[in-house]
Amino acid sequence: MSCGKVKKLLVGYVDGDLDQKREDEVREHLGGCARCRVLAEKLETSSAALSSLRPVELSDAASVRILGAVEASGAPRKALLPGWLRSPAALAAGACVALILLSVVVVGVLVVDFGKDAEGPTPAVTEEKVATEESDLAYMPTEGEQSLRDDTGNLHGPAPTPVVKATSTDYTEESLREMFENLEVKETFGQRYTMGNAIGLGPSFVDKVTSEFEGLGQDPAVLESMISYVTVGEPTLLTCYVEKALFHGIDVTIIGFCAPPRSGTTTLLTRTEAWVMDPVKFVTSPSAGIVHFLEMK
């Protein structure tokens, strides 16, 4: 048997996978060929070395964390929606609802302006007014929220704005949940803002939190990217909370969003999502930047 043929059979020989006849032929060749014998020894060494490796398993904590992050990440977000919401027809209907809500907002602003000015606003004035109202974080009424206004349509108290802070708190899964359960801004957002508000106010709230974050000496661009990554295709997520903190000793940015519930009839933002993001990892790989995900319905 030639060296070339033996080489092809050598792995099978070392692993004991050859039939008796082949095994005898290879053994006979090895008896007289030092070069092939060296190769066989190397294959034996690597085989023994590899079989000494014990199986490794994903820890339970990492397993839970990864599943949460996977289900919550970007496009897969659809997987969290009930099946009926995921059909193309439902998505198209959703887009129509979003357009209608936006129209309601714009028409509402026009009506308010006409009421104040008998001659009516020019289109340019209207746009400016919309921008001003957004930057003022004004409350925009939608159906079902009338109870929050008095008879003259005025708001009860000031409109809540997002909380931004930098701390050295070292959170765990449990302490983070506890913090969010008792978070006041989550409650006020849930009582005051609706799906329509989220669409209208979202961009100005992002500007606000990134600007305040920069004021705390943090990188606003990465925060903006992280919010954009989470909210892409999800315009009804309204940023309510940003905290630069630690999570199991790692520097993270915790971003809280208020969102409409996944089922039910209310459009109030009564559901909360908390995303714990590692900004360093996020820059190189957004999905790997998701450290932990928490949802409160």
Binding site for other proteins (CB under 8 A): 7-8, 10-11, 15-17, 39, 41-43, 45-59, 62-63, 66-67, 69-71, 73-76, 79-83, 86, 249-250, 280-281, 284-285, 287-288, 290
Q: How far is the CB of 18 from other proteins (least distance, A)?
A: 11
Query: Dihedral through CA 68, CA 73, CA 79, CA 81, nearest 10?
Result: 90
Smaller CB separation from other proteins, 192 or 292: 292
Percentage helix, strand, coil for the chain under 3-state DSSP, each rounded to 5: 60, 15, 25
Contact 126, 110 (CB under 8 A): yes
Beginning with the edge strand found earlier in the chain, give each strand of the sheet holding 250-259 in spatial order: 163-171, 238-247, 250-259, 271-277, 290-296
Smaller CB separation from other proteins, 41 or 127: 41
Q: How far is the CB of 11 from other proteins (least distance, A)?
A: 6
Smaller CB separation from other proteins, 1 or 85: 85
Q: How far is the CB of 48 from other proteins (least distance, A)?
A: 4
CA distances from residue 178 to 150, 164, 215, 254, 256 in whole angstroms, order as listed: 34, 18, 27, 14, 14
Smaller CB separation from other proteins, 83 or 115: 83
Query: Dihedral through CA 283, CA 224, CA 277, CA 189, nearest 10?
Result: -170
Q: How far is the CB of 294 from other proteins (least distance, A)?
A: 16
Q: How far is the CB of 275 from other proteins (least distance, A)?
A: 14
Smaller CB separation from other proteins, 76 or 215: 76
Q: How far is the CB of 293 from other proteins (least distance, A)?
A: 11
Q: How many CB atoms lie under 10 A from the CB of residue 8?
A: 9
Q: How far is the CB of 16 from other proteins (least distance, A)?
A: 7
Q: How far is the CB of 278 from other proteins (least distance, A)?
A: 9
Smaller CB separation from other proteins, 257 or 293: 293
Pick from 293, 108, 129, 80: nearest CA to 197: 108
CA distances from residue 27 to 13, 17, 23, 118 in whole angstroms, order as listed: 8, 13, 6, 104
Q: CA–CA separation, 260 vs 294, rounded Å?
A: 15
248: left (phi over 0), alpha (psi -120 to 50) or beta: left
Contact 173, 179 (CB under 8 A): no
Q: CA–CA separation, 159 vs 139, rounded Å?
A: 6
Smaller CB separation from other proteins, 159 or 283: 283
Q: CA–CA separation, 190 vs 167, rounded Å?
A: 25
Smaller CB separation from other proteins, 63 or 228: 63
